Structure 1
Amino acid sequence: MDFELLVKTQDGLIAAGQCRDLGISADKVKHWVRERSWRVITRGVYLVDVHMLEAKPLTPRRLIRAAQLALGPHAVIVLESAAELLGIEGLRRGKQIHVSLEGPYARPRRLGNAVLVPHQLVLRSTDVMEIDGMRVTSAARTVADLMLKVRRYEAISALDHALNRALISEDELPILYQMMAGRRGVKSARKWLEQADGRAESPLETRARLRCADGGVPPDDLQVLIQDERGVVIARADMLWRRYRLIGEADGEAAHSMPEPIFRDRVRQNALAAAGFSVVRFTWTDTLDPDRIPRIVRAAMRGQSC
């Protein structure tokens, strides 16, 4: 593979070892770094065109790529970093990059990068896949590992999102159970598996549902089509309490902030009110308080009972 094609396939990055293989001397590399044509991203890994940063900053993906190049072809991207590459949402964004080195390659080394966190996970060949040339734990293995590491709301949010996006299937849940066997935290994580629901379309929906369940007011159903008296579908409810004709909606900040969505929401809200439904809306901030969402739901239930 020639230089330009290699760099293009690696998000504009190249490793020192790859430079040697291409006949680029260490002196040339040092010269380009001094001239600021190249930039050191991490030890032994370079961005070959610093002007790329103006159009494409150092995204998490590019930093993960740099970590993989620094540690070599046997490195496997794991945990939150694997979730980033797989598109699994619901986790706190952090600067750390998690990489596992298998077997004989898992020897202590100075990484020269404080955000690069090395692990030594026992991985089978079926636990590892490839994304654009990077070795990454599979979606199932990534979620299983995360459920043993992160807090409950993050763990279930990540699992819900993976299910909703068909990154893993309901049939694979027993496999996750097996992947966690004998590992620290497995007792709690296995309970969390039972609380997953792939119908949740966002981490916000998952968190709102869990707050309701924890507060003693779990919804009866999710993603329910609501019809008017003529049988015309007027809405799809994120959450529904049937007895109270109460709908719960998870509101992302951007979803309803523009004029057209606001207009559609008003039309929809009026149609639901005419059909006898009440709507309560939850934001991400609401989910940070354990009592706020259950309190909102109970107040709405009382109003619908009058």
Structure 2
Amino acid sequence: MSTTMPANLHAALADDGLITAARCRDLGVSADRVERLLRSGALTVLAKGVYAERRAVEALGEWPAFRLRTRAFVMASPANTHASDWSAVALHELPTRSAPPPVPSVIRLGSRASGSNRTLHGRTRFAAVADRWLTEIDGTATLRPSFAAVDLARGLDRRSGLILTDAAAGREGSLEGLAQAERDIAAWPGHGRARWAVAHACPDVESPLESVGRYALLRAGLPVGASNVWVGETVPCWRLDHYWAEHRLAAEADGIGKYGLLGDPLAALRAEKEREWQLQEWGIRVVRYTWTIATLTPDALAGRIASLLRAEPLPADRLLRTWSRRDGFLARGMTPPSVGWSGSAPRRGTGARPSPAAWASPARVG
């Protein structure tokens, strides 16, 4: 009896990563053959009646593997089931914590009863969720980013909740979805934590690192400034992570991704130095911080910002204008790029950033 994977089964798995027992039958692979493939280690069970190639699963990182398990669990669940919690976050590629939960989570709709159950392959919650929050990612039913973020924020600390609501607002380009989701879960436990995260979210934040920088200021009772605004004399030239225009003060989140965008790290560093020189010419003070500073010494970061907010601005003989993130891109004849937020926030904290043109030299304007 062969334990070699049939070519058509291998091709199907290569195409989608998952295969159901029903699909195996359609391909002419018997239940006995599937069982032999499972015993030999060629296949592995990710959910009831849903299989994947073991070596392919083992080659994945923690979160990509969790995403695959989420898809499998949704496939194995009734039709009114949608990925929720960290499973929805993984499908939407929003910021993730350091390690995924032990099993995927879903919400089963159609009942006003609450509660949950857990099996070997996943956790199912029972809740009534409005149709406006339902969507699909690559054929997998899931909740929209705003609802998933607000739902999770009910049980998270404020910093983690803000990272998620900032990310969801950036993904959807506004705060409207978050506000509606917060109203919809007003009677759910933990609503107060979710309400705080929604109240302080910003759709112009571009990375988890910027979110934790904003949180350091919020916890100190300081104004957080405007996120990713453009500055210039007559045209938008440079974009700043955080900016207090009346003080000519900027704060920059120094994630490693900022210096790898141009392909050549040295070229990226030279461009950043040119940018810094121009900002100084305009009398803009710049405070830089890293993930370590913002998370381990947030009071020090907040203290530095507070002292500069109290200080007299640097002398400047040029009038500066500011543009919002969106308006600055449009003024440069560019379509505002989608905010890239994939990645594990507590581990890397940088997220993806827009293309180099988003912080190009003034010489390249016009």
TM-score interval, smaller chain: 0.7 to 0.9
CA shift at 1:98, angstroms? 1.2
Q: Does 1:181 align with 2:189?
A: no
TM-score by length of 2: 0.70
Mapped partners of 2:115, 2:19: distance in 1: 23
Could you tell me whether the CA contact under 8 Å between 2:165 and 2:197 is conserved in 1? no
Residue in structure 1 matched with residue 306 of structure 2 by the alignment = 298
Aligned residues of 1:247 and 1:278 also touching (Cα < 8 A): yes
Q: 1:31 to 1:170 in 2, by over 3 A?
A: same
**For each residue in 1:7-48, what CA deviation from the matched residue of structure 2 results, as whole angstroms up to 9, or x when unmatched?**
466x32123354356553321111222343323334533214
The equivalent residue for 2:242 is 239
Within a 5 Å distance, the mapping from 1:209-220 to structure 2 comes to: 209-220=214-225
Q: Distance in 2 between matches of 1:27 and 1:271?
A: 70
| Aligned counterpart, 1:255 | 258
Q: Is the CA contact (8 Å cut-off) linking 2:116 and 2:125 kept in structure 1?
A: no
Query: Are 1:282 and 2:289 matched, yes or no?
Result: yes
In the alignment, the residues of structure 2 paired with residue 286 and residue 150 of structure 1 have an alpha-carbon distance, to the nearest angstrom, of 21
Residue-by-residue CA offset, 1:40-93 (whole Å, 9 max, x unaligned): 334533214x45458766633212122223435443210111122123226554
Secondary structure at 1:201's aligned position in 2? coil
Question: What's the CA shift string for 1:187-206, capped at 9, x where partnerless?
Answer: 33223322111111122212
Q: Distance in 1 between matches of 2:116 and 2:287?
A: 53
| C-alpha distance in 1 between matches for 2:183 and 2:311 | 46
The CA deviation at 1:294 is 0.5
Change in 2 beyond 3 A, CA 1:243/1:12: closer
Identify which of 149, 159, 164 aligns with 1:143. 149
Residue 33 of structure 2 corresponds to residue 25 of structure 1:
no
- 2-side partners of 1:103 and 1:232: how far apart? 53
Check the 8 A contact 1:245/1:276 in 2, yes or no: yes
For structure 1, the 5+ residue unaligned runs are none
CA shift digits 1:200-229 (9 cap, x unpaired): 11222122112113213324433232225x
**Equivalent position SS for 1:59:** helix
* Counterpart selection for 2:165 from 159, 165, 169: 159
1:67 aligned residue (44, 68, 73): 73
- Comparing 263-272 with 22-31, greater Cα deviation is found at 22-31
Preserved CA contact (<8 Å) 1:226 1:233: yes
- Using the TM superposition, name which of 254-263 and 32-41 deviates more: 32-41
Q: Deviations over 1:139-179 (max 9, x none)?
A: 3322231222322222222222222222x633334422321
Which segments of 5 or more consecutive residues in structure 2 lack a partner in the other structure? 1-7, 315-366
TM-score by length of 1: 0.82
CA distance in 2, matches of 1:304, 1:249: 20
Distance 1:3 1:73, change over 3 A: farther
Equivalenced residue count is 297
**Cross-structure match for 2:135:** 129
How many angstroms apart in 1 are the aligned matches of 2:227 and 2:179?
23
Using CA pairs below 8 Å that are at least 6 residues apart, which structure has the higher relative contact order?
Answer: 2
* Letter of the structure 1 residue corresponding to residue 89 of structure 2: A
